[in-house]
Structure 1
């Protein structure tokens, strides 16, 4: 269960209905039925939303998602309508807001992997499989897989952990036709993004996508890419020039925060009942620098 050290009060904006305050985003509905997603600077680790924010994180993730949506438009439609800030919203919403079509979401996390890490590594070490897919012997932490693989997870209730499942189990739950389309779309998007990242000296080890059906009036429902996409919060990005199988890889994400929280320097027991402490300034600055570097290296545009 994910908990907030200090849960923020949602902004009250005329014409918007607050739907949910998540780990990172606040979700509203406008009077046209569109979803308004606002990315905060919050950071979560070890099932806690931390008391210290990372400056600019929400804007970086929003701008990076928008950039990736654009790169993938030849493969998949997405849910973004505009980035206009609703009238009466706080000034801080500028640059972190997406107005999106409301979709009939598919209750599956669509994960693509090209390298062995995370929960995939744990399962592989136990059974030489990942989500029931057999993999060759001899792989280790950070190894490149023979080919990209689709490893779905069922979406859990808010605050709970998603559960990795086999493709066959997913097909049983949501149907074979939808499952086949999800797999094809996920792998196509991952393969294109992996190649784009590789050209920029970055390894896209794995990522997760969310999809929903766009039931716009008078049109056939279309599988549509939703939520954030290909950010350091939803993906593992590694610097290619430092990649070395057999160990944990340097990354462009919040691993720096996890490492500090797990170290004696934090004074925090992750298995205890006390919430994590505030982050020191140097950890905040180093984490922000990793998000900025990921954005700049991927897009080729300086962050400002």
Structure 2
């Protein structure tokens, strides 16, 4: 349990969010496993701790403002409460996952031949909805049309997302890993 007398605001697929006060939240990273928007019945021991520490590492090491206030080992984080933009900013460096499937169905285009796991010439923003039963891709036009962002805000966040992905991919590459994609959220 994250905290005995805290009010649970949201039970996510792999993370629970509790209210500390009007300005702060407690993120409790669980060992739950999610794939394709479904929580699986099994757990992975220490997964919550690993995700929490990885998040803290990137928040501390990326040159970008974030909401983290304090890491509470092993798997909790105190963050600033924000009003979230109702989208997930997925940045893809490789043709994989749902983007690959959408390309094969003719629902999305990329500037390369559709070969599974091919490296893209440059990272691309592939945003999806947030707070819907199932995440779905959204276009820039839909985002601006629904008033989630202005054109200028979209441009700025797209640029920020690509810069964050590039910095993280470089660090991963130096350690011998490939960062295929990442998901960012803003508020």
On whether the aligned pair clears a TM of 0.5, the verdict is yes
Aligned partner of 2:124 among 142, 146, 149: 149
Matched, 1:13 2:7: no
* CA distance in structure 1 between the aligned counterparts of 2:36 and 2:116, rounded to whole angstroms: 21
Aligned partner of 2:180 among 174, 196, 205: 205
For 1:81, the equivalent position in structure 2 comes to 69
Aligned partner of 2:27 among 37, 41, 46: 37
For 2:51, the equivalent position in structure 1 comes to 61
**Alignment deviations for residues 66-110 of structure 1 (CA, whole Å, 9 cap, x no partner):** 1111221x2x111011124xxxxxxxxx41110100011111110
For 1:289, the equivalent position in structure 2 comes to none
Report if the CA contact (8 A) 1:112-1:186 is conserved: yes
* CA distance in structure 1 between the aligned counterparts of 2:84 and 2:37, rounded to whole angstroms: 24
**Alignment deviations for residues 48-69 of structure 1 (CA, whole Å, 9 cap, x no partner):** 4233221111001101111111
Unaligned runs of 5+ in 2: none
Matched, 1:136 2:111: yes
How far the C-alpha of 1:33 sits from its partner, in A, is 3.2
* CA distance in structure 2 between the aligned counterparts of 1:113 and 1:45, rounded to whole angstroms: 18
TM-score after normalising by structure 1: 0.57
How far the C-alpha of 1:139 sits from its partner, in A, is 3.1
Aligned partner of 1:194 among 163, 169, 179: 169
Structure 1 residues 116, 63: closer, same or farther in 2, change over 3 A? same
Aligned partner of 1:184 among 145, 159, 177: 159
Aligned partner of 2:141 among 146, 154, 168: 168
How far the C-alpha of 1:124 sits from its partner, in A, is 1.4
* CA distance in structure 1 between the aligned counterparts of 2:111 and 2:21, rounded to whole angstroms: 53
Q: What is the root-mean-square deviation in Å for CA atoms of aligned residues? A: 1.9
Q: Which has the larger radius of gyration?
A: 1
**Alignment deviations for residues 196-234 of structure 1 (CA, whole Å, 9 cap, x no partner):** 11111111111110111xxxxxxxxxxxxxxxxxxxxxx
Structure 1 residues 193, 12: closer, same or farther in 2, change over 3 A? closer
Aligned residues: 185
In the TM superposition, structure 1's runs of 4+ consecutive aligned residues that sit over 6 Å from their partners are none
SS at match of 2:43: coil
Unaligned runs of 5+ in 1: 1-9, 85-93, 213-304
Structure 1 residues 145, 11: closer, same or farther in 2, change over 3 A? closer
Structure 1 residues 147, 181: closer, same or farther in 2, change over 3 A? same
How far the C-alpha of 1:135 sits from its partner, in A, is 2.4
How far the C-alpha of 1:137 sits from its partner, in A, is 4.9
Report if the CA contact (8 A) 1:111-1:153 is conserved: yes
